[in-house]
Amino acid sequence: MTLASGDQYAHLRANAAAQKQTTVDRLSQAITQLEAEGRPVNTFTIKEVSGMDDMAYYRNREAFQLFQEHSTHLRKERAQEQAKRQVASRVSKRKPGKGRAAGRAVAP
Task: Report the alpha-carbon distance of residue 14 to residue 26 in Å, rounded.
Answer: 18
Task: Decide if pLDDT at 29 tops 90.
Answer: yes
Per-residue model confidence as pLDDT tens digits over 51-74: 999 899 999 999 999 999 998 877
Task: Give the per-residue pLDDT at 85.
Answer: 80
- Give the number of other Cβ atoms within 10 Å of residue 46's Cβ: 24
Hey, is 86 helix, strand or coil?
A: helix
Predicted TM-score (pTM) of the model is: 0.65
Task: Report the alpha-carbon distance of residue 81 to residue 3 in Å, rounded.
Answer: 55
Task: Report the alpha-carbon distance of residue 21 to residue 89 in Å, rounded.
Answer: 41
Torsions phi, psi for 44 (to 5 deg): -70, -45
Rg (CA), the chain: 25
Closest CA to 65 of 23, 16, 18: 23
